[in-house]
Amino acid sequence: MLSALLLIPFLSGIACYFTASDRLRRQIPVAAALANLAVVGMIWARGGELPGGEWIGVDSLSLLFLVINGILFTASAVYAAGYLEQHRREYDANRWLSREAIFTGTLLVFLATMTLAIVSRHPGIFWMAIEATTLTSAPLISFQRSNRSLEAAWKYLLICSVGIALALIGVIALAVSADFSPALNNLPITFSMLIANAGALQPVWLKAAFVFILVGFGTKMGLAPLHNWLPDAHSEAPSPVSAILSGALLNCAFLGILRINTVLVHAGLGEFSNQLLLALGIFSMFLAGGFILMQADFKRLLAYSSVEHMGILAVALAAGTATHAGGMLHALNHSLTKGMLFLVAGNILAAFHTKSTRDISGLVRTMPLTGVLWIAGFLAICGVPPFGVFVSEFTILAGLAAGERWIVMALFLGALGIIFVGMARIVIPMAYGTPGESGPADGATRWWSAAPPLVLCILVLVLGLYIPPPLYRLIEASARVIGVN
Amino acid sequence: MPIQVSIALLLLINLHLLGTSRLNALIRAVAWQAFLICALGALVNRDVLEWHGWLVIVTMVIVKSIVLPMLMRRALRETAVRREIEPLLGYAASLFAGIILLAVSMWGAWRLPLPNAIDPLMIGSAFFTFGVGLLLIVSRIKAITQAIGYLIMENGIYLFGLAAAAGQPLIIEMGVLLDVFVGVFIMGIMVFNINREFEHIDTHQLAILKD
């Protein structure tokens, strides 16, 4: 089952490279995404754990992230099929290894690398998977081959490759910290081995490892001040790719930080690692707030909102066991909401051919469904009830209150307030207001562009009203994996 | 004794890298640096290395000091760049920064608690090499110099891995994967004609490429 999880996207990706028919090829990611979702569902139905081996395996935490990835990728794959149909090039049609074939195939291989990151149980394997995600996502970002998308992809590669090099130093330092104790000398340094023997690890090296890994994977996760690549990549990539980058890739990097943090907590260095995470998290929230206030590009707006939500996840991880469940629920809610918002943004971009917020107004009147989804997405991402993000942010706040972290709580609420005002100032005129003279060039709503964000929106709404018991148990179980029991 | 000589040479090469503006000289120095580091790795671990360890080291020499420098020279010819003309940090200042970096790396390496078998001199040199690479990436403008800087940084990590984590061959071998990035950078420079900052990419040329 574990190998099906990795092989389905990988092999279907390879198949895409060598499929000549455009029509057939566009269906492959959708089919693979559904198959992937089915496998994840089967793992969940069978209890949700696959011990696997030394290198890969599924625990509750992996399963939660697999579920998030599966849903988001399916939505994006449906959307991408239509997107590619709209952006087809006659001279490049129906050829194998055409630009479109490479895009489609790489999208699936990218899913395989993210899945590998989620199921890895060894920091080394995790590191390799994250490096592979960087390499496979760069050509997706530069798909349009415009100057700006090439620049964004180059910046992404350069910044994230330095981050990954730093993370490798962290992984080596982790190995050195285990080298001090003769008993651990030749054991493979899996996450579970490190947690079980946390007390025997050399603390100075363990701290150094954490700092390097935090900076390295933090770059990938988009924690400020290491987030520089993120707004460019997210705004220049095709919208279905932006949705996956923001909703799935950032989570994968977060997972690595999370697992290393657990090792430090077990080694009694939790205070050190949590303070660092907390500082980066709060800083990310405020920095995102500042950039959102003066944003003039709606895809960059969403990108900075992702920086904010990664900050929230870092805070939820760092503030103690009371906030862990809220944080895990928030990862799910953020991914679904942000995926939906990026897909809606893609529809707006396709209709107006501009990313400038000032040139767009009266969406609700000219494109009713898109306009309503845009407003709903805005309310959802800002944590307005009855959407899911409200529940998860409220749970995190309740956790902060239970831990008597009043200062953190005040800063957290302050940042949320700034971001709400900043986003409202941009989103509301876009949706309401009088339609400008330059109305949408192409306002037609197609089922492939409307259905995926609509379904995601309904999911976020449902999560705000009712959390199904199996999901509740999964979140509790994954919070237990992080926490000290 | 050969270890100390190699380390001294490595430190000199690092300082040379910071002070030179000619890109050809930079590439030659990086190739020698990679060779020295692989030789050091082989010397230090010669008793514990098994056959696949030797295979990795030989592969590293081929990739880092033959294949990648050759590709870089080709990229250089195709983009007709000779020198790094306007670095953000001047050459004298870079050298000065390098000497401070050397002092800090060595001081740090001696202060770190180390398992018995590990030589702090090696760890310090690894930190220093890494720092030199990072310095080149942030203080130079040309894309090719940044790719060279990345290769230097990676050499530092490889030395660190060889010196510190000999018991975990998997992790040392993972370093090979970083070379893929250097390859991708060079490809980007050649295929998309990425030269330096991005205003310089000519859309006309991209259209010629016919995607």
Domain boundaries, chain A: 1-119, 123-264, 269-485
- Between positions 195 and 224 of A, the ones with CB within 8 A of B are 202, 204-205
- Give the list of residues 6+ apart from residue B191 with CB closer than 8 angstroms, or none: B209
A147 at B interface, C-beta within 8 A: yes
Interface test with A, best of B110, B135, B174 (most A CBs within 10 A): B174
Distance separating alpha carbons of residues B10 and A371, to the nearest angstrom: 62
DSSP letter at A248 equals I
- In this complex, do B206 and A168 lie within 8 Å of one another by their Cβ atoms? no
- In this complex, do A147 and B174 lie within 8 Å of one another by their Cβ atoms? no
Q: How many domains does chain B have?
A: 1
Distance separating alpha carbons of residues A391 and A471, to the nearest angstrom: 14
B168 at A interface, C-beta within 8 A: yes
- In this complex, do B115 and A180 lie within 8 Å of one another by their Cβ atoms? yes
Render the burial of A148-162: b for 16+ CB within 10 Å, e for the rest.
Answer: ebbbbbbbbbbbbbb
Nearest CA in chain B to A124: B171
Measure CB to CB from residue B112 to each of A92, A124, A204 and give the nearest one. A204
* Chain segment A125-144, per-residue pLDDT in tens: 999 999 999 999 999 998 88
Cβ contacts (< 8 Å) between B160 and chain A: which residues?
169, 172
Domain that holds residue B9: 2-208
Give the residues of chain B that fall short of pLDDT 50.
Answer: 197-211
Distance separating alpha carbons of residues A22 and A28, to the nearest angstrom: 10
pLDDT of residue B193: 66
Nearest Cα to A177, choosing from A149, A142, A139, A209?
A: A209
Length of chain B: 211
A185 at B interface, C-beta within 8 A: yes
pTM summary value: 0.92
Using DSSP, state whether A120 is helix, strand or coil. strand
Render the burial of A310-335: b for 16+ CB within 10 Å, e for the rest.
Answer: bbbbbbbbbbbbbbbbbbbbbbbbbb
* Chain segment A336-373, per-residue pLDDT in tens: 999 999 999 999 998 888 888 888 888 888 888 999 99
Q: Which string of DSSP letters, residue by residue, matches B103-142?
A: HHHHHHHHHS---TT--HHHHHHHHHHHHHHHHHHHH--S
Cβ contacts (< 8 Å) between B208 and chain A: which residues?
none
pLDDT of residue A457: 95
* Chain segment A379-399, per-residue pLDDT in tens: 999 999 889 999 999 999 999
Distance separating alpha carbons of residues B193 and B81, to the nearest angstrom: 11
A180 at B interface, C-beta within 8 A: yes
* Chain segment B190-200, per-residue pLDDT in tens: 777 666 544 44
**pLDDT tens, N- to C-terminus, chain A (485 residues):** 888 999 999 999 999 999 888 889 999 999 999 999 999 999 999 887 888 788 899 999 999 999 999 999 999 999 999 898 888 877 777 788 888 899 999 999 999 999 999 999 999 999 999 999 999 999 999 888 888 888 888 889 889 999 999 999 999 999 888 888 877 777 788 898 899 888 889 999 999 999 999 999 999 999 988 888 999 999 899 999 999 999 999 999 999 999 999 999 999 998 999 999 999 999 999 999 999 998 888 999 999 999 999 999 999 999 888 899 999 999 999 999 999 999 999 999 988 888 888 888 888 888 889 999 999 999 999 999 889 999 999 999 999 999 888 999 999 999 999 999 999 999 988 888 777 766 666 666 788 888 999 999 999 999 999 999 999 999 999 998 887 64
| ipTM over 0.95 threshold | no
